[in-house]
Amino acid sequence: MRTLLHDARRQLAVLGVMAVVLATVPFWLDGSARTVAIRILISAGVGVGWNVMGGFAGQFSFGHAAYFGIGAYSSAWLLVNHQISPWIGMVVGAVLAAAFGALTGWLSFRYRLRGAYFALATFAFAEMLRLVVQGQGWLSGTQGLQVPVLAESSWWMMQFSTSSPNYYLVGLGLLVVLLTITILLFHSRRGMFIVAVREDQEGAEASGVDATAHKVLAVAVSGAMTAVMGTFFVQVFFFIDPQLAFGPAESVAILLPAVVGGTGTIWGPVVGAAILIPLGEWTAKVVRDPPAFLDVVAGRSGLDLMFFAIVLIIILLFLPKGVYGSLAQRWRR
């Protein structure tokens, strides 16, 4: 037990150093590069959230957009209609997402959905939410919600001028909190039970671990984490609609950083996000405004995503445990 606590302290120390170094970024990076940095933080954050359920608990989710959307819509609706601070909306969204996750998770585990069936059920829940929200007038249906722009920036309303480094710092702060929760959780007794259930459910149950309760706990924590990033997303981009919030593309965007970086590892989602977002940005930029020798690709929509897909296929085939996961494994040998 002592060595494990020691390990947690070491990981927290790494996180602390990383946070301090990354906090300097907005002071030497600005303009569109800083927006990319913020998108990396969001992607890493949702990936960390997904990883709790899909990686550590081993319950593959193909519908995390449900939690992301609940977080985004809760805070956006409270802000637009009742002028309530997004910080409160963030807490409300996290609680609602945890409740939704606990309910759907409990139902799925109770009816013994596993593997492909479980993945399809999570997908179906997210799609249901998308279709329901699309038909709701009080949530502006397919039009989506637009965050009103304030005259001056405000910490309480989580709204800053575009030149301010604060969006980045808020995002970094949230990511550090999510990573701290993950590190502490999976060095605690509860977290180890969650991993034990993933490794051998019957064995864990025979040792007296309530498998269903621990899986539901993982889903709820994971959902709440993802919802927090949903709120932050709305505050950064001022807009949310059902497709953006609950669509299948969002579900994939949430699980990609974790899978590409390495599922079930603390740092995997962060590494994955730091690879995927700049890569996507860079390919989009090359197509928009190519260097002289690549003139033919100018304005060819579709080419950037094709390239992205090919890189993804190569990573999946040659580094099946993810970039960080595969490297970490080689190190330990």
Partner 1 sequence: MSDVGASRLANLRTRLSVPRWAWGVVLALLVVAWRWSEVTDLVASGPGRTIALQALLTGLLIGGVYGLVAMGLSLIFGVLEIINFAHGAFLTLAMYLTWVLSDNAGIDPYLTLLITPILMFLVGAAVQRVVINPAMGQPLENQLLLTFALAILIENGLLLAFSGNPRSVRLDYANTSIGPVDFPLRIGGAIIELPRIVAFVGGLVVAGALFAFLNRSRIGTAIRATGLNRTGASLVGVNVDRIQVLTFGLGTAVAAAAGVLVLPFLTLDPTTGGQFNILSFVIVVLGGLGNVGGALVGGILIGLTQEIGGLLFPGQSKLLPVFIIFIATLFLKPEGLFGGDAQ
Q: Determine phi and psi for 146, rounding to 5 degrees.
A: -120, 125
Minimum CB separation of residue 281 from partner 1 in Å reads 17
b/e per residue 185-199 (b: at least 16 CB within 10 A): bbbeeebbbbbbbbe
Between 21 and 317, CB nearer to partner 1: 317
Kindly state whether residue 116 participates in binding partner 1, applying the rule CB under 8 A: yes
What are the percentages of helix, strand and coil residues in the chain, rounded to 5? 75, 0, 20
Angle at 178 between CA 177 and CA 183, to 5 degrees: 95
Nearer to partner 1, 75 or 263 (CB): 263
Q: Are strands 145-146 and 239-240 parallel, antiparallel or unpaired?
A: antiparallel
Listed ranges 72-80, 186-194, 219-227, 302-310: which one lies at the site for partner 1 (CB under 8 A):
302-310
Could you tell me how many residues make up the chain?
333
Span from 30-38, 76-84, 90-98, 303-311 in contact with partner 1 (CB under 8 A):
303-311
Distance CA 27, CA 161 (A): 15
Give the C-alpha separation, 155 to 68, whole Å: 22
User: Contact with partner 1 (CB under 8 A): which of 100, 125, 168, 233?
Assistant: 125
- Nearest residue (CB) to partner 1, 67 versus 307: 307
- Binding partner 1 (rule: CB under 8 A), the pick from 85, 134, 146, 201 is 134
> Closest CB to partner 1 among 60 and 233?
60
Binding site for partner 1 (CB under 8 A): 54, 60, 62, 107-108, 111-117, 119-121, 123-125, 127-128, 131-132, 134-135, 248, 252, 255-256, 259, 263, 300-303, 305-306, 308-310, 312-313, 316-317, 320
